[in-house]
Structure formats: C-alpha cells, structure tokens
Amino acid sequence: MGLVVQKYGGSSVADAESIKRVARRIVDTTKGGNQVVVVVSAMGDTTDDLRDLAQQVSPLPPARELDMLLTAGERISMALLAMAIHDLGHTARSYTGSQAGVITDSVHGKARIIDITPGRIRQALDDGAIAIVAGFQGVSQDTKEITTLGRGASDTTAVALAAALGADVCEIYTDVDGVFTADPRIVPSARRIARITSEEMLEMAACGTKVLHLRCVEYARRYQMPVHVRSSFSTREGTWVIDTPPDDKDGQTMEQAIISGVSHDRSEAKITVVGVPDLPGKAAAIFQAVARAEINIDMIVQNVSAAATALTDVSFTLPKTDGVIAMSTLEGIKDAVGFQSLQYDDQIGKVSLVGAGMRTHPGVSATFFEALADAGVNIEMISTSEIRISVVTRAADVDAAVRAVHTAFGLDAEETEAVVYGGTGR
C-alpha cells in the first residue's frame, strides 16, 4: 500500500461540481490501494474576495485578524470536500493547518514552516480514513496564533506533509497539464515538460512560473520528494519534478536539453536609490535596512560612480506588495546613508530563460539578447546564474519578449498542445 499526498488548487475546487469531481478522483486513488492525504486551497477566488472585503472594512487590517479571515477559505473547501467523499461511501476527516500539526514561526502573512507533527493525520490513515488538510496555514510555535504561509503556499503545505509522512509521491493538481515551456496563456504553442530537475524548477518558480510555489520546490529538493504536477481536469500524464536522471534504451543517461523554458513575472517593482556616496558600508546599510523589514530582494544593479561627484545609483527589484514598506524604510535612513532621493517604478516585468543545459552550450546569451532586440524590447537590468538569464523590461513588453525568446530557442510545439482548463494556473 502506497501513501499519496494530493493537493488541489482553487480552480480545481471552484464550485460544487468541481468538488464532486475531485472527490471522485480521490476515491479512485484509494481504490487503487493507496492511503491518501489531501491538501486543498480556497475555492476559486475566495482568498482574493476575502482580502478585498478586508480592505473595504479597514485600509490597513491588523495582520493577525487578516490571517484569521483568510484561513476561512480553506476551511470551507476541506469541509465540503469531506462531505462529497462521504457521499461516495468513504470516510474522510478534515483538519485545519493547526489540527494537522503544521507548526510555523510567528510572522503573519508569510510564515515559514518550522516543523510538522502529523499525529492526527497518521491516526486518520490508520483508521482507514482519507485525511483532508487546509492548505496555506499553520499555527505559530511561540504565540500559538493562526498564521498563513503566503500566496500559493498550499503547494508548500502539501510537500511538507508528504515529507513528514514519508509519502511515496506528492501530486500537485492544477488547471494545466503540467509545467510548460512558457505560460500557455501567453504562448499557446508552449510544450509540456515531461520531467524537470528541482534545480531548474527552482529557477523557474523564482522567476515567475506560477504552477509551483517556490518554497514547495525547495522542500521537495531538500527531502528528495518526487512531485507530479498534473491537471485535475484530465487524466493526462503531467510533469515530474525529480532529480533522478532518465535513462535511454541503452541504459545511458540522455543529454540534458539546453533550455527548459521561459518564465515571466509582473509582480515586482524597482526602487532606485539615487546619489549614494561611493564609500564602503553604504550599500550594506541600505540592504540591512531592507532586510530588517523582512523584504526579499531579487535583482541588484549598481552604476559606476561618477568621477566628479563620487556618487552612484543603486537599483533593486522587490515584490510590489512590499513597495510602500521599503520606501518608508529607506526614507528613514536617508540622512544616515546620505543618498539624494528615491525612485519607485512598478511598471516593470521580468523575463527569464532557464535551462541546465546552458552550462555547456555557448551562444545562449547571444541568442537570447538578439531575440529581445528583434522584438524591439529594451533591457533595463540583467541578472544571471549558472542555469538562468533574467532581464527587467517594461511591463507592456513582457508578452512580446516571452514569445520572441520561446520561438528563438525552438520551444514552440508543432501543434497547439497547451490547454488551460481553469483560469488561475494554480
């Protein structure tokens, strides 16, 4: 008997009929001789609706109360799904994140999992029941308050539970048939990737591919948990995120594809700190202040110091949601650092090319930048790793950039393959 953890996103449980369809899929998995633990997101756009409602009541809702509100969405999904499974003649028990033993730190809105103590989940499985867990939430180890793990973090809940339970596989069900070479909503000719390494998936998730949450991939890599990304709307084989290399017919490892895919992200903004004295410690002071505000920074560029003034500009990207906090934090250290002014730009987008094969293939950068130039896309910032090239462009140019790069590297399918069954990609 195997142990399977399944996660269903908001588009998969968007309404009553969808919940019934998911229930049948779960029951079919148990009939195959498996124990099943299910993690669910809130129905459809429930989380966004609750957040909007909170904003109508209070422009700056207390973080604790906002977490209490937002976790209600997953509790609705888990209870309704348990009811649907009972109607199919099987036993199901639903659990909140805290009941399931998801222990986090005390940061509201973006808590991190510290530990999982799944005693009640194990007991349910031993009793022959299907365990259903509310994703995206846990309980603080210190304060005992309810916390949320950040947008899209039901994926992380699922992989963390799978690791804690020693599951055979974690299946992430979404509204597309796996991980594609680009977002099918922008590139309809995008191809499904049959299998991808966690290293490549980490880069794609960090660069904006929304099929898997970044911390989910980090967890899977750390605990060597196979992840199968597939659609809850079809029975097609999806994408395996796994580090064991596939073998060809002769038992020899097949050569790694040069490029895995093209990712994009419109959720970031750019801050430029203008007129920073070109002295040791000034950049450190800027980024220490941002770190104390618990803001994650992505790309950083520092201009060459002007000879006449000995001043330089420092630009960096960060989530738009942290823009207000970052600007106010930096204003607070303006006199201490001695910079002249701040500039904020939220009309940017990031386009990234990812592939482990680019390590050993020269000319990838040249092809990438030539494709952007031919599409008339101007580049504002550049960042690279061993298996990734990222650029910041104008937000309005992102779609054209993604399509141009996708075509330039021969990633287009001969026939339209990608199907988006829902609407969110998660």
The string of pLDDT tens digits covering residues 352-386 is 999 988 888 888 999 999 999 999 999 999 999 88
pLDDT, one tens digit per residue, over 196-230 is 999 999 999 989 888 888 889 999 999 999 999 99
Residue 328 lies in a domain: no
Residue 82 lies in a domain: yes
Looking up tokens 């898997």 gives 212
Residue 384 lies in a domain: no
- Residue 418 in this model has a pLDDT that exceeds 90: no
Whole domain around residue 121: which residue ranges?
A: 2-174
Residue 284 lies in a domain: no
pLDDT, one tens digit per residue, over 92-147 is 999 999 999 999 999 999 899 999 999 999 999 999 999 999 999 999 999 999 99
Amino acid letter at 128? G
Whole-number pLDDT of residue 230 = 93
Cα dihedral: 330, 336, 338, 342 (round 10): 10
Burial of 357 per CB tally in 10 Å (0-12, 13-18, 19+): middle
Q: What is the number of structural domains in the chain?
A: 1
- Residue 75 in this model has a pLDDT that exceeds 50: yes
The H or E element that residue 410 is part of is none
- Report the mean per-residue pLDDT for the chain: 91
236 vs 36 pLDDT, higher one? 36
Whole-number pLDDT of residue 307 = 76
Indicate which CATH number applies to the domain containing 92. Answer: 3.40.1160.10
66 vs 417 pLDDT, higher one? 66
Residue 80 lies in a domain: yes
Whole-number pLDDT of residue 250 = 41
**Nearest C-alpha neighbor of 286 from the set 230, 334, 324, 235:** 334
Whole-number pLDDT of residue 415 = 66
Q: What are the DSSP calls for 339-392, one per residue?
A: --EEEEE--EEEEEEE-GGGGG-TTHHHHHHHHHHHTT----EEEEETTEEEEE
Q: Band of the pLDDT at 248, cuts 50, 70, 90?
A: very low
From CA 218, how far away is CA 202, in angstroms rounded? Answer: 7
Cα separations in angstroms, 261 against 71, 105, 192, 423:
33, 34, 10, 21
Residue 128 lies in a domain: yes
Residue 107 lies in a domain: yes
Residue 310 lies in a domain: no
Q: What is the mean pLDDT of residues 263-282?
A: 95
pLDDT, one tens digit per residue, over 172-194 is 998 888 999 999 889 989 999 99
